[in-house]
Structure 1
Amino acid sequence: MSDKNPFYKILSIDGGGIRGLIAGLILVEIEKRTGKAISELFDLIAGTSTGGILALGLTVPDEKTGKAKYSAEEISKLYQERGNLIFQRNIKGLLGVFEEKYSSQGIETLLEEYFGESELKSALTDLLITSYDFEQMRQPFFFKSRQAKVNPRRNFKMKLIARATSAAPTYFEPFKLTTTRDEYYYSLLDGGIFANNPAMCAFAEAMKSYSPANLLMVSLGTGARTIEIAYEKAIHWGLLEWVRPLIYLMMNGNNETVDYQLKEIFAAREGSTYYRLQIDLPHDPEIQELDNVSPKNIRNLEKLAEELILNENNTLNEICNKLVSSSG
């Protein structure tokens, strides 16, 4: 950030499984309106789970040109055309009761294809990707490109980071990540268990590392669940009935709490601006699922993204104008 670029610009992308397509298509629109790659527009990009995959995909460099290997449109096709490979049914499992619901083979094959041997230290802009170490550290684990550039022990292949941040309990098995020399390992879960909306993590990282006077933050949701849980039904639920609803409640609760906190913080920061782009999902359980990759649902998610873009047209213009004017 310089006098010419007065804003420190942060992009934050929520988790949300296949609904990451909604955020992906917003990013497609931002690239169209600005004529610039996402990695050229933001100083820091934070992502959780599917948002982490988007963040990594938008900052992986092309080996020949040194610029972004993928456009937002190309990354969005991962959801539009390859979703069935991400959520590849685990034939050993019985509806996820005795085994994780999906085999990790499909998503790992896809991540290998998209990221190859690219490493975190090569990211085109600062990255912050969330995960959670449940065995050794028993606390949040953050992948930071700034650390990776100076500490080989914190530099990992992007495909492995993408797998770690999206290791959602009951959906995929946990991920064991070893250090470069196999001298230590981390047992990792999806960052969504503590920061499905990583915007506050990104804010803390920016303040700690740069203490910028003026911030511009764009936080992208992946659709807010709106289905109510009836009290009379819930009081009769046991462990199995509560597992999936509890995951959704925790995600929604974190998303809305972080949004509230940042609105209050930015309201007190003169010269800084915070934008949250989110849409309520229809009262249709199929659309609200994290793993519904049917062609019908993909079309539904595309329509929701179009609706959000239309509703937030003026806000998007404002965001894009600020990004371009401060990106040099």
Structure 2
Amino acid sequence: MPKLDSLIGYVSDDANGSAHLKDPEARLKGGRPCTGVTGTNGNDENDLETRGLCLLSLDGGGVRGLSTLYLLRALMLRLNDERKASKLEHKKPCDVFDLIGGTSTGGLIAIMLGRLEMDVDECIVAYKALMETVFEKRQNYLRVGFRGMIKPKFSSKQLEKAIKSVIECQQVPVDEPFHLKTEDEDSRKCRVFVCAQSKETGSLALLKNYRRKGDDPGEATIWQAALATSAAISFFDEIKIGDRTYIDGAMGANNPARQVQNEASKIWCEATGDLEPLVKCFISLGTGNGGINPISDKAYTFLTNSLTAMATDTKTTETEVLLRWRKYKDTRYFRFNVEQGLQKVGLAEYKEKGLMEVATKDYLENKELRVLNCVTNLRTKKYPPNREFCIEQARLQAQEDSRPQLRTRVVTGTEISELMDRANANLKKPAATVTHGDLINAYTDFHSILQAKLRQQPPATPKELTQIHDKLRSTCLRLSHSQKLTPAQRMTYVHEAEKFGKRAVETAIASQNNNRVVQMEFYLACAKAREIQLRSEDAQFECPTLDERNDARENISVAWVILRSVENLDMSVYDAMAKESIRQLGLNL
């Protein structure tokens, strides 16, 4: 389940496999979450929380790499706001991440962040300028050359010039090697690799700024490495470095998360390959669900097929990596990728900068809890990993592995029914007797049911999913009234209520039941009213405008009127909710 317990308290499993609240006040008293195997001797120097690996994977996707940068900016902005409040110095991504890997667009960004040690805002400015320089003017319109070869659409010389300009602006010699020599590889601040494809063999090639034992770091300069990872077929020319020729690596590793975890294993746990005990935070950033828009000419169907294969490979890798890290989803492994709004943005459509920013912002507004969990993880990073840390974590993991392990069970239909009965029983108590712990336990049970239904075969019906999403919405909304919580924590629950409310509307639409859709829209409008009320009551939140209040009242009123037309519907509950929600808005009926 999402780590709502990280804001409230610790949830654990009892001997019967039932989730319960150990201490609702633990988090509020400064309790510390355990996100991995840690030492017990009180020394935090080899502790996973302070020295564990932080990994960053950056997808390819042409100009949509700007969305990747906006995602990373949101994480780093929140992290540095927290650090500023504690009077700590500002950190750049190269100060936080031990390994950054990228492909194509993601490779360019990886070089800027890790090798050139740029801040995210610097990257955004440089990236926008680079996009305009490179994609503003086509040199060919996908014409086929004399020998049947595809001519590149855009000028590789312009791309080279733009990349060199970025390097020079960072006061780095333009022909400096990508591999940065050091006497002690363990002391390297931030390792970076980019994915390209060897034209001679068709195999994936990693160009690195570091050297592993037995590795030949190669002779690429920074700008050559950037060109190699960017040399997308039909967009730019291939590039020759020494005796080898490269094109971009998107066809084999558009989502380089698999390569990031493989490289991390070879660097820090080559003997065992057991990476999980060493990783504190693994972040994978996508470029958005972009569809297959850039090529429409039927004469080049094979290129469209290549783009389709690239998109499929990206999703396949995402699923594969999530399967490996499923135990740590949203605690130590985080995948951020804009789901809606970028489908029509082609790989070279640089003029859609505004759309990319808005779509990414909308996506992040629905991922606030995940962003908070991710930043909370990153905040405790203190030291770079070293040999002693790797040895200590391997020892602790060996101890953990020697203990009897509980077998993962599939939740049966009968157990789902029991969980539902138990959760409902917690909520059906007289209102004055329902405790904060009752609500937390109900949330835990409802979320377990949701996860079970999402995995079950045959799949759950839209009606069933609507029901459980609405249960979670209602429970989160009730938690937003808990006096045990701070205003910020109450607001987090309101946002969760809105998130589940939106999902309930979506699944209700899929169920093709108009009455159910109106009910879910009414509940969602009431959740928005609660958000506006909290924003009105506490100065730390942005004060709602009168237009926002009026819009919220109109949404409630419209759904309320439509509900009155539904036959055999007891309106007493809806009438009470509507009146209370409009009161929360500070408006008259």
Q: Bigger radius of gyration, 1 or 2?
A: 2
Greater shift, 112-121 or 48-57, is seen at 112-121
1:88, distance to aligned residue in structure 2 (A): 5.0
Distance of 1:259 and 1:144 partners within structure 2: 23
In structure 1, the residue matched to 2:98 is 43
- Are residues 174 and 308 of structure 1, via their aligned partners in 2, closer, same or farther at CA, if it must alter by over 3 Å? same
Query: Does the Cα contact within 8 Å between 2:197 and 2:203 map onto a contact in 1?
Result: yes
Distance of 2:163 and 2:310 partners within structure 1: 24
- Are residues 119 and 217 of structure 1, via their aligned partners in 2, closer, same or farther at CA, if it must alter by over 3 Å? same
1:145, distance to aligned residue in structure 2 (A): 2.3
Alignment coverage as a number of residue pairs: 301
- Are residues 2 and 40 of structure 1, via their aligned partners in 2, closer, same or farther at CA, if it must alter by over 3 Å? farther
**Does 1:82 pair with 2:130?**
yes
Query: Does the Cα contact within 8 Å between 2:330 and 2:370 map onto a contact in 1?
Result: no
In structure 1, the residue matched to 2:362 is 307
- Are residues 117 and 317 of structure 1, via their aligned partners in 2, closer, same or farther at CA, if it must alter by over 3 Å? farther
Distance of 1:104 and 1:271 partners within structure 2: 39
In structure 1, the residue matched to 2:349 is 292
Q: Quick one: which amino acid aligns to residue 140 of structure 1?
A: L
Query: Does the Cα contact within 8 Å between 1:130 and 1:195 map onto a contact in 2?
Result: yes
Distance of 1:187 and 1:202 partners within structure 2: 23
Distance of 2:338 and 2:244 partners within structure 1: 35
1:269, distance to aligned residue in structure 2 (A): 6.9
1:15, distance to aligned residue in structure 2 (A): 0.3
Give the TM-score, by structure 2 length. Answer: 0.48
1:327, distance to aligned residue in structure 2 (A): 3.4
In structure 1, the residue matched to 2:208 is 144
Q: Quick one: which amino acid aligns to residue 209 of structure 1?
A: I
- Are residues 9 and 223 of structure 1, via their aligned partners in 2, closer, same or farther at CA, if it must alter by over 3 Å? same
In structure 1, the residue matched to 2:502 is none
Q: Which whole-Å deviations, capped at 9, do the CAs of 1:43-86 have from their partners, x for residues lacking one? A: 1100000100001001234xxxxxx3x21111112333331212
In structure 2, the residue matched to 1:154 is 218
- Are residues 5 and 283 of structure 1, via their aligned partners in 2, closer, same or farther at CA, if it must alter by over 3 Å? closer
Give 1:319's match in structure 2, choosing from 374, 381, 384.
374
In structure 2, the residue matched to 1:65 is none
SS at structure 2 position matched to 1:30: helix
In structure 1, the residue matched to 2:267 is 209
In structure 1, the residue matched to 2:319 is 260
1:248, distance to aligned residue in structure 2 (A): 2.3
**Percent of aligned pairs with the same residue?**
23
1:194, distance to aligned residue in structure 2 (A): 0.4
- Note the 1:37-186 alignment, pairs <5 A: 37-61=92-116, 68=117, 70-91=118-139, 93-98=140-145, 99-115=151-167, 116-122=174-180, 124-135=189-200, 137-147=201-211, 153-178=217-242, 185-186=243-244
Distance of 2:176 and 2:342 partners within structure 1: 40
Q: Quick one: which amino acid aligns to residue 115 of structure 2?
A: V
Which structure features the higher share of helix residues? Answer: 2
**Does 1:251 pair with 2:310?**
yes
- Considering only aligned residues, what root-mean-square deviation do their CA atoms show, in Å? 2.7
1:304, distance to aligned residue in structure 2 (A): 1.4
**Does 1:197 pair with 2:255?**
yes
- In the TM superposition, structure 1's runs of 4+ consecutive aligned residues that sit over 4 Å from their partners are 148-153, 268-272
Q: Which whole-Å deviations, capped at 9, do the CAs of 1:244-296 have from their partners, x for residues lacking one? A: 422321221111111111111112579972111011243753x2x000012xx
Distance of 2:266 and 2:156 partners within structure 1: 35
- Are residues 266 and 299 of structure 1, via their aligned partners in 2, closer, same or farther at CA, if it must alter by over 3 Å? same
- Are residues 22 and 154 of structure 1, via their aligned partners in 2, closer, same or farther at CA, if it must alter by over 3 Å? same
- Are residues 282 and 243 of structure 1, via their aligned partners in 2, closer, same or farther at CA, if it must alter by over 3 Å? farther
**Does 1:187 pair with 2:245?**
yes
1:149, distance to aligned residue in structure 2 (A): 9.9
Which protein, 1 or 2, shows the higher relative CO under an 8 Å CA cutoff with sep ≥ 6?
A: 1
**Does 1:18 pair with 2:63?**
yes
Query: Does the Cα contact within 8 Å between 1:40 and 1:327 map onto a contact in 2?
Result: no
SS at structure 2 position matched to 1:282: coil
Query: Does the Cα contact within 8 Å between 2:342 and 2:356 map onto a contact in 1?
Result: no
- Are residues 276 and 57 of structure 1, via their aligned partners in 2, closer, same or farther at CA, if it must alter by over 3 Å? same
Give the TM-score, by structure 1 length. Answer: 0.83
